[in-house]
Amino acid sequence: MDLRLIISKDGSHTIYRKDIDETYHSRHGAVQEALHVFISKGLKEIEKPKRPINILEVGFGTGLNALLTCVNSTSEVNYIGLEANPLSIKVLDSLNYDATVIEDNSHEVFKNIHNSPWETLCSITSLFSIKKVETTIQNFEITQPIDLVYYDAFGPNSQAEMWDISIFEKIYKAMRPQGVFVTYCAKGQVRRDLKSVGFVMERLEGPPGKREMLRGRKL
The structural domain count of the chain equals: 1
* Cβ partners under 8 Å of residue 9, min gap 6: 27, 28, 29, 208, 209
Block mean pLDDT (10 aa), the chain, length 219 = 95 97 97 98 92 97 97 96 97 91 85 97 98 98 98 97 98 97 98 98 97 98
Give the Å distances, CA to CA, from 142 to 56, 153, 197: 9, 17, 17
Per-residue confidence (pLDDT) for residue 177, from 0 to 100: 96
Residue 20 lies in a domain: no
Residue 4 lies in a domain: no
Q: What is the pLDDT of residue 103?
A: 72
> CATH number of the domain that 176 lies in?
3.40.50.150
In-domain check, residue 202: yes
Does 122 map to a domain?
yes
Q: Which residues contact 66 (CB under 8 A, 6 or more apart)?
A: 57, 60, 79, 81, 113, 130
- The beta-carbon contacts of 67-70 under 8 Å, at least 24 apart in sequence, are 67/97, 67/98, 67/101, 67/106, 67/109, 67/110, 67/113, 68/31, 68/34, 68/35, 68/38, 68/39, 68/101, 69/38, 69/39, 69/43, 69/128, 70/109, 70/113, 70/124, 70/125, 70/127, 70/128
6 located within any domain? no
Q: What is the rounded CA–CA span in Å between residue 168 and residue 181?
A: 10
Q: Decide if 38 is inside a domain.
A: yes
pLDDT of residue 48: 84
Q: Range of 75's domain?
A: 29-217
Position 172 in a domain: yes
Is 161 inside any structural domain?
yes
